[in-house]
């Protein structure tokens, strides 16, 4: 048996064992009533999502009746047109016709809490991470000639020529200071390309990325799946790299809720978290991924052919430039490797990168902001009720990137100082 086969069996066995513990949790939480006290204070919440594969835990929690199982039968899962729309609806709150929480880019709750991009600060809480990996940086076919891939360096001269000709290269991401903005900026800067001066960044909603590339209005984009896979299937461009090639098992989306909602409903918050965690366990089983895709690819959710979404979830990546890999480790994880736990060290990296690029002020008290937004304690409470283990620490420790850079959460300033390109 190969090492990969042994690893796969171990992983499947661990997930199966974890899911088995949920039967006990069901007995301890019948109809939403925890053995230690009453169930959720409210049966309803309005949760937003964007048409991306990493919204699957929310969709599956709804479709498989898991919100109902944990005492919240009236939870709505509502499609948002863009991350800006998610922001605007969070500002409104459900009382104003908006939403209470969302599948959201991890930096966004920090920006809103700090008052960035909103008319006044909107305190937010992060209750869980939704996934690791599963994003990509895609480029137009014309960049094949300069061998743009994991290294962006081949595009440096080409982008300089475009700028000199008055046709500055356009790099699309999904929200300023969001995860996709940070991945593509890291990738460009590692190749010697300054994302603030050498190219122009533009904001495009995820479902519009492929159409815009087809129309020739952008040269590069960074987005979550399934849009990188769809680009390749339509032969419009190719995947330069999966973002997990920049940083293996990197954090991505989270379950973010308005802090006033969490404070008002302290029992409902872990109930929602438990429903999402159980959905993550189910989504993470490879045997369930075809069924998962048949649900989330539907018109009311992501609205793509299953062939655009399933292969990369199973570790089969056609990059579109002659590279094709089966059994790749660069697939989306929902539960394995503590994918669901909201490590504070990861949130500290996102806040540090937002400072690096001028989204958050240089004087931001990064640790204090993380302590205010990140509610790993709620995740731990949910895990205890479910009978599943929690990480020993809120930090995953030192992180290493493809270019040799190191992020030590005990010294984020040293990481910032090591980056030659920043705002």
pLDDT reported for residue 345: 98
Choose among 380, 228, 373: nearest CA to 313. 228
pLDDT reported for residue 36: 45
pLDDT reported for residue 22: 47
Distance, first Cα to last Cα, the chain: 50
With 80 as the cut, is the pLDDT of residue 18 above it?
no
pLDDT reported for residue 416: 97
Domains defined along the chain, listed by start: 3-132+250-407 (3.40.190.10), 135-248 (3.40.190.10)
The crossing angle, in degrees rounded to 10, of helices 344-356 and 366-373 is 130
Q: Alpha-carbon distance 375 to 377, whole Å? A: 5
Q: Alpha-carbon distance 348 to 395, whole Å? A: 10
pLDDT reported for residue 369: 98
Q: Alpha-carbon distance 322 to 325, whole Å? A: 10
Give the model's confidence band at 33: pLDDT under 50 very low, under 70 low, under 90 confident, else very high. Answer: very low
pLDDT reported for residue 414: 97
pLDDT reported for residue 9: 43
Q: Quick one: average pLDDT of 28-35?
A: 38
Residue with the larger pLDDT of the pair 34 and 152: 152
CA distances from 220 to 59, 63, 164, 238, 300 (A): 29, 35, 18, 10, 28
Q: Quick one: average pLDDT of 235-249?
A: 98
Give bridge partners of residue 123 from the DSSP assignment: none
Q: Quick one: average pLDDT of 355-364?
A: 98
With 90 as the cut, is the pLDDT of residue 288 above it?
yes
Q: Alpha-carbon distance 26 to 17, whole Å? A: 15
With 90 as the cut, is the pLDDT of residue 6 above it?
no
- Per cent of the chain over pLDDT 90 is 91
> If you average pLDDT over every residue of the chain, what do you get?
93
Lowest average pLDDT, out of 16-30, 141-155, 391-405, goes to 16-30
Q: Alpha-carbon distance 57 to 128, whole Å? A: 11
Q: Alpha-carbon distance 15 to 310, whole Å? A: 20
Residue with the larger pLDDT of the pair 23 and 77: 77
Q: Alpha-carbon distance 270 to 275, whole Å? A: 9
Cβ-based neighbour number of residue 17 at 10 Å: 10
What is this structure's pTM?
Answer: 0.92
pLDDT reported for residue 295: 98
pLDDT reported for residue 37: 57
Q: pLDDT tens-digit profile of 34-45?
A: 334 589 999 999
């Amino acid at each position: 048996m190969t090492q990969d086969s042994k690893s796969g069996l171990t992983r499947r066995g661990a997930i199966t064992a974890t899911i088995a513990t949920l039967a006990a949790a069901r007995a301890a939480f019948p109809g939403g009533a925890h053995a230690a006290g009453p169930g959720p204070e409210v049966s309803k919440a309005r949760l937003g999502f964007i048409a991306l594969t990493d919204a699957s835990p929310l969709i599956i929690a709804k479709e498989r009746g898991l919100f109902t199982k944990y005492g919240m039968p009236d939870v709505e899962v509502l499609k948002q047109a863009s991350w800006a729309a998610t922001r605007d609806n969070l500002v409104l709150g459900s009382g104003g016709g908006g939403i209470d929480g969302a599948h959201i880019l991890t930096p966004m709750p920090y920006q809103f809490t700090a008052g960035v991009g909103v008319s006044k600060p909107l305190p937010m809480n992060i209750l869980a991470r939704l996934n690791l990996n599963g994003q990509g940086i895609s480029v137009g076919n014309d960049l094949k000639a300069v061998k743009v891939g994991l290294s962006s360096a081949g595009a440096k001269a080409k982008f300089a020529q475009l700028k000199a000709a008055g046709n500055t290269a356009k790099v699309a991401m999904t929200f300023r200071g969001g995860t996709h903005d940070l991945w593509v900026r890291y990738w460009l800067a590692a190749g010697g390309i300054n994302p603030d001066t050498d190219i122009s960044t533009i904001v495009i909603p995820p479902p519009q990325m492929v159409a815009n590339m087809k129309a020739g209005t952008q040269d590069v984009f960074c987005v979550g799946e399934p849009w990188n896979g769809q680009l390749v299937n339509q032969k419009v461009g190719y995947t330069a790299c999966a973002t997990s090639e920049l940083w293996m098992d990197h954090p991505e989306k989270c379950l973010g809720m308005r802090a006033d909602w969490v404070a008002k409903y302290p029992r409902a918050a872990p109930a929602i978290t438990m429903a999402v965690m159980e959905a993550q366990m189910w989504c993470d089983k490879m045997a369930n991924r075809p069924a998962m895709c048949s649900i989330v690819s539907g018109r009311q959710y992501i609205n793509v052919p299953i062939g655009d979404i399933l292969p990369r979830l199973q570790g089969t990546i056609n990059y579109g430039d002659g590279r094709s890999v089966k059994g790749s480790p660069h697939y989306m994880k929902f539960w394995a490797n503590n994918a669901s736990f909201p490590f504070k060290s990861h949130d500290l990296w996102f806040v540090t990168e937002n400072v690096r690029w001028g989204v958050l002020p240089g004087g931001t008290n990064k640790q204090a902001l993380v302590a205010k937004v990140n509610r790993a304690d709620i995740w731990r409470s949910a895990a205890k009720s479910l009978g599943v283990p929690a990480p020993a620490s809120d930090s995953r420790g030192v992180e290493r990137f493809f270019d040799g850079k190191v992020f030590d959460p005990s010294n984020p300033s040293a990481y910032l100082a090591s980056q030659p390109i920043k705002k």
